[in-house]
Amino acid sequence: MNVLVVNAGSSSLKYELYDMQTEQSLAKGLCERVGSAGSSIEQETHDGREFEADVEMPDHTIAFERAVHALVNGDAGVIDSLDAINAVGHRVVHGGEDFASSVVINAEVESAIDRFGALAPLHNPPNLMGIKAARKALPDVPHVAVFDTAFHQTMPRHAFIYGLPWEMYEEHSIRRYGFHGTSHRYVALRAAEYLREHGIADEDQKVVTCHLGNGCSMTAVKAGRSIDNTLGFTPLEGLLMGTRSGDLDPAIVIYLAQTLGYAIDEIDTLLNKQSGLLGLSGISNDMRDLQKAASEGNERARLALDLFAYRVRKYIGAYAAAMGGVNCVVFTGGIGENDHLQREWCVQGLEFLGIEVDPAKNTYPLPFENGSTAIGTDSAPTHLLAIRTNEELMIARDTAQLLMN
Ligand code: ADP
C-alpha cells in the first residue's frame, strides 16, 4: 500500500510518498510560493533522483496536481500511475476537542476543521485547502486527517484548564490544547520500545519528550499518554522558541497596549515573530548562528542560549513532578537532534533526577543508528535519548492503520 502524506501551509505544499509494506519513503517534494508569482516545485526520490521546475501554481489545487504529476512522470517519477496512490494522509494542526485520534475525512470532518480555523487561523485554513485539493484530484481513495492536537487530548483537566472564569472554557473553548503532538507521539513510541527493552514496563514509563526546533515544546508522557504539553491555547506558550516568546506574564500584553500604545496586531507580531532567540539576541532565530556568536563572545547570544536551556531544564523538573518521577528524557527536532551543547545544558544539574549526559556519547553528529541514540551515562538511572522525529511516517502509519481496520 502506498500512502501519500500532505502538509499544506499557506503558501506551500509538502508531500511524501511511502510504501507502507516497507515503510520506505519513495519520494518527497515541496511546492513553494503557491498563490504568488515565482512558484516552484522540487522533488527528490529515495534513490537520489531530483526534479526541479518553476511552474505557475495559483492555488493549492494546481499545486497538488503538479505534485502528483511529478510523482508519476519524468525524471523523478516513482509510480506508474495515480492508481498506485492508495490513500492520502493530511497533517492538520487543530482538531479542537473533537478529535483524540486520526480520522477518515468526510464532509463532517472538513467542516470541523473549518470550524477550528477560528483557533488556528494560520494553519487550519491552508490545511483544509490541501485536503480539498487532494480530495478533488484523488476522489476515489480515502483521505485521513492527522491532528497535531490529538495526542494531547488525554491531558487531565487540571493540566488543560487555565485559571480564568469557567465560561472562558465552556463558551469560548479557551484551554490548553498542546501542539507538535504527531512528533511527540512518534518519539514517545520509540522511547517506549527502548524502555521496554530495558526492563521498564509500559505502565511504569514516565517520559519527557523535548521537541526543540524553530517551534519548541515538551510533553509529559505517562504510560504512553500525554498528560501535559508546554504549548497552550496557541503555539506561543512555554519554551523560548526561534521567534516566539514562550511563557510570560499576561499583564505584559496589557502594559504593551495601555502604556506603550501597541496595537493588537503589533503585539501579535512582537510575541510570535520578533521575540524568542531572535528578539533576545538581535542576531538570528537560528540556533547555529547563536552558538557561533556566543562562542565569539556575544553576550546577548549567550543569554539567549542560557535562557533557552533554563526553560527546558525547568520544565523537565516540572514534568517529573507532574508524573511522580521520570525514567526517560528524549530530545528531538532540529536543535534536539543536532545541538550537543544545548542537550548538555538543558539537563545540567539534573543529576538529582538521575539524569547525566555522557560526553563521549553526546557528540555531533550523532550516529542515529536506526534513528535513535542513547546519550546518558551507563550508571545514570534515567535514560537519555536523542531520537530523529518523523512526523510524515507517523501520518502515513495512522493512515494505513485506519484503512486496515
Ligand atoms: P522546524 O521547527 O521549522 O521544523 P527544525 O526542527 O528544522 O525546525 O529546527 C530548526 C532549528 O534547528 C534551528 O534553530 C537550527 O539552528 C537548529 N539546528 C539545525 N541543525 C543544527 C546543528 N547542527 N546545530 C545546532 N542547531 C541546529
Residues 281 and 376 in one domain: yes
Q: From the CB of 339, is ligand 1 less than 6 Å away?
A: yes
pLDDT of residue 2: 98
Position in ligand 1 atom list of the atom nearest CA 342: 25
State the distance from the centre of ligand 1 to the C-alpha of 215, rounded, in angstroms: 10
Q: From the CB of 117, is ligand 1 less than 6 Å away?
A: no
Position in ligand 1 atom list of the atom nearest CA 364: 23
Look up residue 197 and give its amino acid: E
Domain boundary, last residue among 118, 147, 176: 147
Ligand 1 pocket mutation, candidates 218, 339, 344, criterion most atoms within 8 A of CB? 339
Residues 125 and 221 in one domain: no
pLDDT of residue 376: 98
Residue identifier of the C-alpha nearest atom 12 of ligand 1: 334
In sequence order, the β-bridge partners of residue 16 are 5, 28
Position in ligand 1 atom list of the atom nearest CA 277: 14
What is the domain extent for residue 258?
201-391
State the distance from the centre of ligand 1 to the C-alpha of 2, rounded, in angstroms: 30
State the distance from the centre of ligand 1 to the C-alpha of 216, rounded, in angstroms: 10
State the distance from the centre of ligand 1 to the C-alpha of 159, rounded, in angstroms: 29
Q: From the CB of 276, is ligand 1 less than 6 Å away?
A: no
CA dihedral 187, 190, 195, 198 (to 10 degrees): -140
Exposed, middle or buried, 277 (CB in 10 Å: 0-12/13-18/19+)? buried
- Judge whether residue 405 has pLDDT over 90: no
Residue identifier of the C-alpha nearest atom 3 of ligand 1: 214
* Residue tagged active-site, from 148, 228, 339, 398: 148
Number of domains making up the chain? 2
Q: Tell me whether residue 263 is in a domain.
A: yes
Instruction: Give the other-Cβ count within 10 Å of 107's Cβ.
Output: 7
With cell 531520537, the residue in question is: 387
> Residue 249 sits in a domain of what CATH number?
3.30.420.40
- Judge whether residue 56 has pLDDT over 90: yes
Q: Tell me whether residue 374 is in a domain.
A: yes
Return the sign of the alpha-carbon dihedral for residues 358, 186, 397, 26: negative
Mean pLDDT across the stretch 186-195? 98
Q: From the CB of 269, is ligand 1 less than 6 Å away?
A: no
Q: From the CB of 334, is ligand 1 less than 6 Å away?
A: yes
Residues 117 and 206 in one domain: no
Q: Tell me whether residue 72 is in a domain.
A: yes
pLDDT single digits (tens) 84-135? 999 999 999 999 999 999 999 999 999 999 999 999 999 999 999 999 999 9
Closest CA to 392 of 109, 7, 2: 7
Helix 60-72 with 124-137: angle, nearest 10 deg: 50
Residues 251 and 134 in one domain: no
Residues 220 and 357 in one domain: yes
Instruction: Give the other-Cβ count within 10 Å of 401's Cβ.
Output: 13
Q: How confident is the model at residue 190 (pLDDT cuts 50, 70, 90)?
A: very high
- The reported pTM is 0.97
Q: Tell me whether residue 195 is in a domain.
A: no
Q: Tell me whether residue 193 is in a domain.
A: no
Q: From the CB of 336, is ligand 1 less than 6 Å away?
A: no
State the distance from the centre of ligand 1 to the C-alpha of 203, rounded, in angstroms: 33
Average pLDDT, the chain: 97
Residues 133 and 218 in one domain: no
Look up residue 164 and give its amino acid: L
Sheet containing strand 87-92, strands side by side:
50-54, 40-45, 24-32, 13-19, 2-8, 87-92, 143-147, 103-104
In sequence order, the β-bridge partners of residue 103 are 145
Which residues 6+ apart lie within 8 Å of 287 measured at CB? 277, 308, 334, 335, 339, 342
Residues 140 and 218 in one domain: no
- Show the CA angle centred on residue 146, arms to residues 123 and 117, nearest 5°: 30
Residues 386 and 244 in one domain: yes
Q: Tell me whether residue 405 is in a domain.
A: no
Ligand 1 pocket mutation, candidates 214, 231, 337, 340, criterion most atoms within 8 A of CB? 214
Q: Is 306 a catalytic residue?
A: no
With cell 470541523, the residue in question is: 112
- What is the length of the chain? 405
Q: From the CB of 277, is ligand 1 less than 6 Å away?
A: no
Q: Tell me whether residue 9 is in a domain.
A: yes
Q: Tell me whether residue 316 is in a domain.
A: yes
Residues 228 and 302 in one domain: yes
In sequence order, the β-bridge partners of residue 28 are 16, 44
pLDDT single digits (tens) 279-336? 999 999 999 999 999 999 999 999 999 999 999 999 999 999 999 999 999 999 999 9
Residues 221 and 363 in one domain: yes
State the distance from the centre of ligand 1 to the C-alpha of 99, rounded, in angstroms: 30
Closest CA to 400 of 111, 86, 123: 86
Mean pLDDT across the stretch 58-68? 96
Mean pLDDT across the stretch 344-373? 97
Residues 133 and 238 in one domain: no
How far is the C-alpha of 340 from the C-alpha of 38, rounded, in Å?
A: 38
Residues 48 and 141 in one domain: yes
